Amino acid sequence: MADQTASPRAETVVPADYGAEAFVESLIANGVEFMFINSGTDIFPIQEALAKFDAKGRTIPRAVLCPDEATAVAAAHGYFMVTRRPQVVLVHVDSGTMNMGGGLHNAQRGRAGMILCAGRAPMTFDGELEGTRNISIHWIQEQLDQAGAMRGFTKWDYELRRTENIQHVMQRAFQIAASEPPGPVYLTLPREILMESVGQTKVLPVQRHGPLSTPQADADDLAQAAEALANAENPLIVAGQSGRNPSSVAAMTRLAELTGARVASESNYVNFPTDHPLWASAGAAPHIADADVILAVDSDVPYIPAHGKPNPNATIIHIDIDPVKPTIPLWVFPVDQLMHADSAKAVPALADAVDDLLSDADRARIEERIETIKQHRETQIQQADDLAKQHGTQSVITPQWLSYCLGQAVDEDTVIVDESVTNSGHISNYVPRTKPGTYYKSGGSSLGWALGGAIGARFAQPDKTVVATVGDGAFIYGCPASSLWAADVHDAPFLTIIYNNQIHNAPKASLKGAYPDGYALSSGNLMGMELSPSVEFATLAESCRAYGEKVEDPAEVPAALERALEQVRNGRAAVLDVRIEKP
């Protein structure tokens, strides 16, 4: 009879002195490469276990100290976007948990799988167990429901209660975090459990506790959608997060070319090559009203009704791994076909179905439409380039000129981590991204993601150049001292380009839309929006041992970009504080 303990499907028993070692064994079994840590007085048993395993020559997750929790969550997010493998974030009790807030929102909406772990105030106080309360803050740090604040943002939460089932709890955490749609899970770790003597622990076979397989769309639904697209006169594809699966980009390109459909991409990922003639824009608004067939793929907001609605006679098809958005309380969009499917499976199948339906006459008609769109697109590109070059001769740097210069400076393999907010459209227009995995946004709306996200992206692809594009507000939110310190100490250099317009422009744009002739704009009294005079961000960068440079002359932008990129290639983080015109 075969030795069952040798089977990769069997449980194994390994020695472990205390609960924290059992916890770390689960991380090792699941292939965790990074633990993004913000230390507290309650997680030291895990740090001791890591040190012990390292001393004994074990391969352990790399501990990355992040001085601010926002950096830790964003780094785990960035790493997951590139690799699709959940990593671990380890923070302090209630205060550390709350300080993850904005990053947690981004992880939820960006569908980033990660294991968020926090200590909790010790459960005992009279010396009953190892790990009992021994400093005064242990009383004031205990909340009625520490996980309660996280519950609306996570897929699952749990508190370790017994050492006997640590391995089961951890496998459950990894399984839920990685299953589509992925997302963060939250665990609280009492000190008494981490410090309890155990003698040994079980390691479960990871392959028997893995993420669920993803669904294919119903064959009849695909056939119906294919017929609508094949017969369409003005089809439109709206892509949201389909590019999370790199293979889907080629399939999406084939589908667009078969149907002659423009593709509007929200661009949390490279969903579609932005230099392709059929790439329309980052948003669907300019095209939504005229489309007769609309295919939305993995899109949380396919269009904004207040900005324009589909024609009432348009056929609307939506393919999504999360089709009814149960975590978005008010999500009401009319759809003729709403399919629950993995777009990496459904889009290729849909393209095959369309290909089978098209006659020679259909293909000729579609080629003619593509040629018309191509000519229009070429004109748009030329006009945009001419405008940017004209701006390059002016006395002030415009976002168009900065973005154009960036597009000229980087190659097709450079990874762009974008949080430039109101300037993201310029980056989409002037910095073509053709390869899957070379452009990322958080998927959420909480600023401060890009700096930590760039660290995670660099860890995931250490041979790639990573560029974070941010506004000055987003740079401040990104805890630059924490992020640049971590990039330096943990050898994860990246370039940050600050589109510094010295104002919170998104609130200004909202105010302008609602009150174009109001007191604030007419008087120039933009209360709570001005970021002037600006922080000297180049000096801040240098204090963190990064390269820093302030750029104010349009003629200096190309050379400054090259200097900064060279610093990053030589292993040093860099920050360009580019003072652009005020909107």
Convert 237-278 into a string of H (helix), E (strand) and C (coil). Answer: EEECCHHHCCHHHHHHHHHHHHHCCEEEECCCCCCCCCCCCC
**For residues 356 and 260, is the Cβ–Cβ distance under 8 A?**
no
CA distance 564 to 546: 10
Instruction: State how far the Cα of 496 lies from the Cα of 484, in Å rounded to an integer.
Output: 10
pLDDT of residue 1: 32
- Helix (H) or strand (E) holding 500, with range, is strand 495-500
| Contact by Cβ (8 Å): 256, 272 | yes
Q: Which amino acid is at 320?
A: D
Q: List the Cα angle 501/281/564 in 5-degree steps.
A: 45
Instruction: Tell me the fold of 392-579.
Output: Rossmann fold (3.40.50)
User: Domain spans of the chain?
Assistant: 4-208, 219-374, 392-579
DSSP 296: E
Of the chain, the end-to-end C-alpha distance in Å amounts to 76
Q: What gap in Å lies between CA 231 and CA 222, rounded to an integer?
A: 14
In angstroms, the CA 267 to CA 429 distance is: 12
Cβ-proximal residues to 529 (8 Å cutoff; 6+ apart), any chain: 503, 504, 507, 508, 511
CATH classification number, 4-208, choose in 3.40.50.970, 3.20.20.70, 3.40.710.10, 3.20.20.140: 3.40.50.970
CA distance 484 to 503: 23
| Three-class secondary structure assignment of 157-194 | EEECCCHHHHHHHHHHHHHHHHCCCCCEEEEEEEHHHH
CA–CA dist 286, 270 (Å, integer): 20
Whole-number Å distance between alpha carbons of 506 and 529:
9
Are the CB atoms for 126 and 132 separated by under 8 Å? yes
Q: Do 4-208 and 392-579 have matching folds?
A: yes
Q: Which residue do the tokens 């390994």 mark?
A: 14
298: left (phi over 0), alpha (psi -120 to 50) or beta: left
Rounded to an integer, what distance in angstroms lies between the CA atom of residue 337 and that of residue 524?
A: 48
Q: Are 420 and 470 in contact (CB under 8 A)?
A: yes
* Spatial separation of the C-alpha atoms in residues 185 and 160, rounded to whole Å: 13
Residues 6+ apart with CB under 8 A from 190: 119, 120, 122, 123, 131, 159, 160, 161
Q: Residue 439, Cβ neighbours under 10 Å: how many?
A: 25
Rounded CA-CA distance 106/262 in Å is: 28
Other C-beta atoms within 10 Å of 126: how many?
7
Instruction: Say which residues have a Cβ less than 8 Å from residue 291's Cβ, sequence separation at least 6.
Output: 234, 235, 236, 310, 311, 314
pLDDT of residue 6: 53
* Separation between Cα atoms, residue 511 and residue 521, nearest integer Å: 8
- Who's near 308: CB < 8 A, 6+ residues apart? 285, 288, 289
Per-residue pLDDT of the chain (583 residues; tens, 9 = 90+): 334 445 778 899 999 999 999 999 999 999 999 999 998 888 999 999 999 999 999 999 999 999 999 999 999 999 999 999 999 999 999 999 999 999 999 999 999 999 999 999 999 999 999 989 999 999 999 999 999 999 999 999 999 999 999 999 999 999 999 999 999 999 999 999 999 999 999 999 999 999 999 999 999 999 999 999 999 999 999 999 999 999 999 999 999 999 999 999 977 899 999 999 999 987 888 999 999 999 999 999 999 999 999 999 999 999 999 999 999 999 999 999 999 999 999 999 999 999 999 999 999 999 999 999 999 999 999 999 999 999 999 999 999 999 999 999 999 999 999 999 999 999 999 999 999 999 999 999 999 999 999 999 999 999 999 999 999 999 999 999 999 999 999 999 999 999 999 988 888 888 988 999 999 999 989 888 888 999 999 999 999 999 999 999 999 999 999 999 999 999 999 999 999 999 8
Task: For residue 410, give the 3-state DSSP assignment.
Answer: coil
Phi, psi of 27 (to 5 degrees): -65, -45
Give the pLDDT of residue 3: 44
Do 178 and 86 touch, CB atoms closer than 8 A? yes
Q: Give the CATH class of 219-374.
A: alpha beta
Tell me what pLDDT residue 362 has.
Answer: 97
